[in-house]
Structure 1
Amino acid sequence: MPKILHSADIHLDSPFRSGNAGKSEVRRRELRGTFSSLMMYIKDNGVALALLAGDLFDSESVTKNTADFFFGEMASVPGCRFVISPGNHDPYTSGSVYAVSDIPENVYIFSDTALNRFRFPEIGVDVYGYAFTKSTLDVCPFVGREPADSDMINILCAHADVGNPLSPYCPVSESDIAGTGFDYCALGHVHNSAGMKRVGNTYYAYSGCLEGRDFGETGHKGAIVLDIEKSRGIASVKAAGVRFSKRRYEICRADVSGCRTDDELMTKLRAAIVGKYGSDTLLRLILTGNVPPSLRISTDGIAARFGDGLFYFEVLDRTLPLYDSDALRSDPTIRGAFFRELLPLLENGSPEERADAARALRLGLMALNGEREE
């Protein structure tokens, strides 16, 4: 029973979006280190087959240094077979890194949009797949196709978008997957793994990315290790997630309703943050709830007070001012007119619009009272 690893969406040379330029460069270097850790795991654990389901590079423009690093890492593990299915970020083109680089003997790359197969009879596995040849792929190449040899362990390695019929990135449905006859579909494109699922006799999963790149990719990231057995044409698949990420993005929402003083605010924030995150964390703290207009919330001050020990920390103020809205709604003066003008955004705006409207209301009412924000 061969040991198989499934990974995707590595996005080497990605421009990390959070933090200053120096920390973004640290994250780019760490992403390379994470890929090296993946190779070390493959070597140390005797992985026979690694499925890399696309978007391994962040764009088609790959430096020679990055290409040499990428293929050199795989060449250093000659006992493992690497199968690559290029995705929408790293399509296979005549000038792509996949076409112009010296490819190690243990690396196998799909090169067109037709469904093709790499055979590995020595481990009893056939791997099917295809390549994006541009940034979009409107039709799924494997719908209606079945494996040629049902006695083999039949795996699909593919970049695809499940459950989104209008997607320009190879749309496919769960019923399409169930009808393929593949034993396991190793998918790429979705960066947050939801674990392995089964439809019919076919198992499928998104491995997620190796490292989160922004606050839309929270939590620890990694790859999936598979044990597949097959008896009388039916596969049994066991999957285990393995963490490889060096850092994690996290979002903490703190409801600070009821806080009337800075001390009360800091006490509530201390309970929400301290001891729960460390130097591996890029943290976004979102303040919510209703607070009196007299409470001056300084996001910079909060970041300075609680940011020590975190790799990156940002604070967003989404609180709303606690006013007597009924009184303001019926107020015939300019105060009421100002409140009623902002009311649609306060009640129905996006979180950002509500926050902006709340700040405008607080500053406006302060100005009408002859006050200034300190």
Structure 2
Amino acid sequence: MKFIHTADWQLGMTRHFLNPEAQARFSQARLDAIRGIGQLAVEEGCEFVVVCGDVFESNQIDRQVLTRAFDAVAATPGVTFCLLPGNHDPLDAASIYISNSFRERKPENVVVLEGNEPFNVADGVELLAAPWTSKRPLVDLVDRASELAGPSDALRVVVGHGALDSRSPDSADPSLISLSRLEARIREGEIHYVALGDRHSTTDEGSSGRIWYSGAPEPTDYVEVDPGNVLLVELDADRCTVESRRVGTWAFERVERQLSSEADIEMLESLLDTVTEKERTVLKLALIGQVTLAQHDRLDRLLEHCTDRFAAVEAWERRSDLHVLPDDAEAETFGLSGFAAEALGELRKLGQSSDDAEAAEARDAIALLYRLTRSAS
């Protein structure tokens, strides 16, 4: 028996650092991933797909997002998509899953896992679902769903969402999923695979090889490890094979560079040139060191060019520490005299002050003065 395990589609997600054009492409990529998942299921002979929570970014998504998502799912009508409400889209009174728009437009191959009763998804295969009904569960929903199911001869796949207790520093959180209890149930043959969502990084948990986070099908942040995948699961009572398949097309990349010369800037430019699929790459830069005004001007032009080429370019403020100061030759080319020359000298001294705020202001003033003198000439 084969199926696909995925999670955290978060359809309707927006990112503040994306301009409208890039945001539209980011949103479309998430819909394209759904079509890719359906096509993969057809190619691999999978009867169903489990989507383990956070299908939608929230319960207040735009109706167009819902409609386009349903179109993507309906493209493979022979594959059943089983949707689990998660913490972003819980099955509460305001849930998208009970809205008129959802009920009226839902394709026949979509099933919402809204209860704890075992769901017969295929011949001899049951899903034990643990849907979120609020933002803050007061119990381990996954363990409760497993416990309520009772004995069965069917292959059982637990479909859950949330953090494992082995990964959380907050031991008092009642909603944490107990890894040890899941592994005990697997050893006893009560359950055969645990499909989890919430963690956006593809992760094999525990020692059984049967407890997995699929990760998000498209990356959403820099801290994720190996996102952009779904899991192809082949399962029977005695054997479980899990294969990661890439469906994502976007990337979030961090770059840290030490800059102190023209050669360093050239190396940074060469490094950024090697990035493939720039239009689908979000870049965060941490630049450290000290450069001259001319070097900083070149760096500004480089970053401006990158902003046009990449999906987005962000400054990694917490890790950045780049100082801009004119060398002696540059100071002479300012062409200043009298009071203005004295002011430049004072600013150069302040630019090396131990007071970080004062030094930063002085360096900004020097850079502005440099540009004004260049434009005047």
Change (3 A) 1:79 1:312: same
Number of the residue aligned with 1:345: none
Number of the residue aligned with 1:228: 235
Shift of 1:220: 5.5
Number of the residue aligned with 1:249: 252
Pairs within 5 Å for 1:326-341: 339-341=353-355
Q: Deviations over 1:324-357 (max 9, x none)?
A: xxxxxxxxxxx69x94444xxxxxxxxxxxxx67
Pairs within 5 Å for 1:138-287: 138-143=138-143, 145-146=146-147, 148-149=150-151, 151-162=153-164, 163-164=167-168, 166=170, 170-181=175-186, 182-193=191-202, 195-199=203-207, 201=208, 203-217=210-224, 221-231=228-238, 236-256=239-259, 259-260=260-261, 263-287=262-286
Number of the residue aligned with 1:56: 55
Q: What is the TM-score when the length of structure 2 is the normalising length?
A: 0.75
Secondary structure of the 1:6 match is strand
- CA separation in 2, counterparts of 1:304 and 1:341? 29
- CA separation in 2, counterparts of 1:149 and 1:107? 27
- CA separation in 2, counterparts of 1:277 and 1:190? 26
Number of the residue aligned with 1:126: 126
Change (3 A) 1:64 1:268: closer
- CA separation in 2, counterparts of 1:363 and 1:66? 44
Change (3 A) 1:17 1:176: farther
Change (3 A) 1:304 1:339: closer
- CA separation in 2, counterparts of 1:5 and 1:227? 9
Shift of 1:192: 2.1
Secondary structure of the 1:196 match is strand
RMSD over aligned CA atoms reads 3.4
Secondary structure of the 1:54 match is coil
Q: Which residue identity is paired with 2:175?
A: C
Number of the residue aligned with 1:303: 303
- CA separation in 1, counterparts of 2:156 and 2:128? 8
Q: What is the TM-score when the length of structure 1 is the normalising length?
A: 0.75
Structure 1 residue ranges without an equivalent (≥5) = 324-334, 343-355
| Contact 2:17–2:314 (Cα < 8 Å) also in 1 | no
- CA separation in 2, counterparts of 1:51 and 1:159? 12
Structure 2 residue ranges without an equivalent (≥5) = 326-348, 372-377
Number of the residue aligned with 1:346: none
- CA separation in 1, counterparts of 2:302 and 2:130? 49
Q: Deviations over 1:279-331 (max 9, x none)?
A: 354242424443256675356422134456533334557135499xxxxxxxx
- CA separation in 2, counterparts of 1:297 and 1:220? 35
Percent of counterpart pairs with the same letter?
Answer: 18
| Contact 2:34–2:73 (Cα < 8 Å) also in 1 | no
Shift of 1:228: 1.2
Higher helix share: 2
| Contact 1:279–1:310 (Cα < 8 Å) also in 2 | yes
- CA separation in 2, counterparts of 1:105 and 1:292? 62
Q: Which residue identity is paired with 1:158?
A: G
Deviates more, 1:202-211 or 1:284-293: 284-293
